Structure 1
């Protein structure tokens, strides 16, 4: 049985990432306002999970290990080339915007001013992944993680518990020290600290590796109870009603006493919220749920199957929409229309790739059995 949820939720995450990247009210449609985590967490987790479905058997030695490692390396190189092209396209867009609106600050808004003014040094930094423009930081993180699998995948797949423990220690160390690769000549670092975010990718990989080997996954009422409590706590803590102008002074919890849930270092509250949310959703939705194959479900699944072109298109569209919204007068209705029309454009991009050829990512192999839904705790 094929797990139809992977493509569906990847497509849903891509839509949410786009809406969260543009200014305007359409971001209220995403779940980042109703808890500690958002679409980025789902995207990284599913990247690890689907990588294990694609290459786990090879990494475990059940298939050709060298072939699996080579496939992961080729995928990383493909993503790397896409990243360079994406940065180039972003530079063209902001340069055109700066010229049209006679506003050089547009380049700085997207952190591309240095690249435009110092192309030789700037492109060298881009090539070394030590210069990341705004909105251009998720793909480099993915490149690093897939490259890690090309080197360490067999060790990780055959030693899940030591891998989990070591990954957790690196996550904790990265969060405590704040050490991260440089992201700009101005001195700031990667927004998504890879030392911390690798933990979520590894959790996804280990769970996917367990599924691909045919082993059952943890499923217990106490896990569900804890997950529900965590999700409700985050919902109340983020006071979503204030976004709709309701109870602006009302808070259930003291904001200074909340569990740490920062995004840059994937703090504990954010990690637990995503894992809890994923556990609940995956427990309630079976891998072959009927709506996933329905008309609406297929629209998100198609985008999930072609995640790279849809993601790249979403980034470029986010840059364009942001420039238009920031530089021209817009109304609330216009911004809603821009957000929703952007989703239609992403769907159109996915349809073009759907008819042009196979999916741009490794295909997830069939589920070995109708096991419990994807959990979120490694064992």
Structure 2
């Protein structure tokens, strides 16, 4: 969602003084949409079965991954889209604005599940393959006895792992009115709320009593993305955009610390444990110290409850990206006249468009990822075919972004001459 300027009539002197006293709306810069667009492409690759490109996504090299990018940037975008509504129209109408967005995301979630389930069922029914595709997402229960799962689907008490991001996002959005109410009293209460809720979500501290939601009525499985843990990264982005947290200075010391955190994570990452720790060194007669360290750190890097080291790693990585991108993302565009500069700027504009239409792109990407996996099952996963399928999937996301932007512009309302 982007902010659009509107024409306004000339202000009187008194109105001008009042307008000058009113805080200016915060306008998102290029970095917000650029990095959320990058996250959309990573999410597509990560959800495609048997995609060797997943060996090179951020999740393989550190504790945090594209999910943190998506949720953090969504918090920043929400501060623009909804925070302003609270400020302009009051708490009640601001809450209504958030409720409407939750309603939209809810039906997007339901539609995504139906579309993917129908795709997999259609492949199994009409394809007559040895592989059962509904089993690839563990949807056996839904198709074997759909009554209870169907009720669970519409009440969000049945949330299969592949479909768990949007429910988490809805619950976090539902916390926004609480956060805005606390901010009216003191912003310190917002950070206290964030910390208490995050602590309550840590299974390592409270066991089965930790704050979470059941993922299915027939077992004790919980939502994979615990919204009470993930709200921490969402409202961190929200707080930065609202100005409750000051933007960090560009400091050589901070750059060095952030770089150290990112590099120090590599030996304990998936790549590090598989390659460095297992095959090269840190192996002793009593065991593997790096693998043992990763096991010991599990509560702090847990993805479901959003472990603290994931938060630290992401903030370090985000700071480096923020510095490299430059003020308001000025370094992202080449703005040159050479062919290379023009091509690069065009690529950046495409990524920005994908980031601006993140909900539509995300829904399509989750469906497209299953199609890509099926296509590679049919044609093989050689390097060339895998790259071609990924390119086709990326083009689908780009087309979706431009299509969604076109529909949102409501061109049928424009006057024709």
TM-score by length of 2: 0.77
Give the helix-richer structure, 1 or 2.
Answer: 2
How far does the alpha carbon of each residue in 1:300-345 deviate from its partner, in whole angstroms, 9 at most, with x for none?
1111111111101110011222334457643233223222221111
Equivalent residue for 1:257, pick from 271, 293, 298: 293
Q: Distance in 2 between matches of 1:276 and 1:290?
A: 19
Q: Deviations over 1:353-374 (max 9, x none)?
A: 1222249xxxxxxxxxxxxxxx
- Name the residue aligned to 1:195: 228
CA drift of 1:168 comes to: 1.6
The 5 A counterparts of 1:277-316 are 277-285=317-325, 286-292=327-333, 294-316=345-367
Q: State the partner residue of 1:13.
A: 39
| Counterpart pick for 2:243 among 207, 210, 218 | 210
Kept after mapping to 2: 8 A contact 1:45/1:203: yes
**1:33–1:48: structure 2 CA closer, same or farther, 3 Å change rule?**
same
Q: 1:103 to 1:148 in 2, by over 3 A?
A: farther
Distance in structure 2 (CA, Å) of the matches to 1:157 and 1:108: 49
Deviation at 1:151, TM superposition (A): 5.1
Match of 1:82 among 86, 108, 123: 108
Compare relative contact order (CA 8 Å, sep 6+) and give the higher one, 1 or 2. 1
Counterpart of 1:53 in structure 2 is 80
**Contact 2:102 / 2:174 at 8 angstroms: preserved in 1?**
yes
How far off its partner does 1:167 sit?
Answer: 1.6
In the alignment, structure 1 residue 343 sits paired with structure 2 residue 379: no
Deviation (angstroms), 1:202: 1.7
Equivalent runs, 1:135-150 vs 2, <5 Å: 135-150=162-177
The alpha-carbon distance between structure 1 residues 6 and 251, as it changes in their structure 2 partners (threshold 3 A), is: farther
* Structure with the greater alpha carbon radius of gyration: 2
2:256 to 221, 225, 230: 225
How far the C-alpha of 1:282 sits from its partner, in A, is 1.0
**Shift, 1:235, TM fit:** 2.3
Q: Which moved more, 1:251-260 or 1:108-117?
A: 251-260
Offset at residue 127 of structure 1 (A) = 1.0
Gapped runs of 5+ residues in structure 2? 1-26, 283-288, 336-344, 411-417
Q: Scaled by the length of structure 1, what TM-score is found?
A: 0.84
Q: 2:268 aligns with which of 211, 234, 237?
A: 237
The number of residues matched between the two structures is 354
For residues 143-175 of structure 1, what are the alpha-carbon distances to aligned partners after superposition, in whole Å with 9 as ceiling and x for unaligned?
Answer: 111122245433246532222122222212321
In the alignment, is residue 182 of structure 1 matched against residue 214 of structure 2? yes
CA 1:118–1:70 in 2, change beyond 3 Å: closer, same or farther? same
Match of 1:269 among 309, 314, 317: 309
Deviations 1:164-221 (A, max 9, x none): 122222212321235321112442211111221111112122222117xxx8423263
CA distance in 2, matches of 1:250, 1:157: 55
Tell which deviates more after alignment, 347-356 or 273-282: 347-356
Indicate the SS of the match to 2:243: helix
